[in-house]
Chains A and B, each alone.
Chain A
Amino acid sequence: AQSVTQLDSQVPVFEEAPVELRCNYSSSVSVYLFWYVQYPNQGLQLLLKYLSGSTLVKGINGFEAEFNKSQTSFHLRKPSVHISDTAEYFCAVTAGGTSYGKLTFGQGTILTVHP
């Protein structure tokens, strides 16, 4: 079975500052990793994904994440945040196989960007 831990439930940051949202996963098999964003009263939108290849993944809205197999981490970063980045962010994993497309989500990190 897979599990995901998002290490921070809330992250406050000032506009134009860098931010890192931390995600660790646990799995006995190879996993594939995703970051989703949820704006208030909306569904989830994919920010980026890691399936294979380069461990540094670039996504939409200037976000990027680095897959670290030895540390079992997939932290999300942005060098300079905007007010519009205020939202809840979810890290998710899938192992495929008999789990097919099942996504296991972390508990979410609420990012609040202050002016």
Chain B
Amino acid sequence: DSGVTQTPKHLITATGQRVTLRCSPRSGDLSVYWYQQSLDQGLQFLIQYYNGEERAKGNILERFSAQQFPDLHSELNLSSLELGDSALYFCASSVGQVYNEQFFGPGTRLTVL
């Protein structure tokens, strides 16, 4: 158990819908990261927040957005869902902003039908 929690574990929805994935970092960690894992793209970095502020952005689609709240939990919002958004979404957390070990949550498996 990494100490990072993600909800829900599984999510099945239809094209065009909007979903919210939630992540609680390990106690004491200030950075939260979101990654997408799919068969064709592999593991892709989406975005990083540190203490509520956006720090780094990857190839995150405009239909996707994220935020980190004052209690440090984070949410990833995916809208206008397409079949290709079906993937495993991981949240990770670390103490600092760079070079730190990232602890990964168990992931949320999103299926878009």
Contact = CB atoms under 8 A, between A and B. Distances in A.
A90 to B, nearest CB: 6
A101 B105 contact: no
A94 B101 contact: no
Given A43-B2, A44-B90, A101-B56, A96 B99 contact: yes
Nearest to B106: A43
Chain B binding surface SS class: strand
A90 B43 contact: yes
Interface stretch (A12-20, A62-70, A71-79, A103-111): A103-111
Which range holds the interface residue count of chain A?
A: 20 to 34
Interface in B3-17: 4
B90 A43 contact: yes
A96 B98 contact: yes
A79 B64 CA distance: 44
A51 interface: yes
Nearest to A105: B43
A67 to B, nearest CB: 14
Given A101-B56, A102-B48, A45 B104 contact: yes
A43 B56 CA distance: 22
Interface string B31-51: 101010000001111001010
A101 B90 contact: no
Interface of B: 2, 4, 31, 33, 35, 42-45, 48, 50, 55-56, 58, 90, 92, 94, 96-107
Give the 10 A-B CB pairs with smallest separation, nearest first. A43-B104, A105-B43, A100-B56, A44-B104, A96-B98, A100-B55, A102-B56, A102-B45, A43-B106, A107-B42
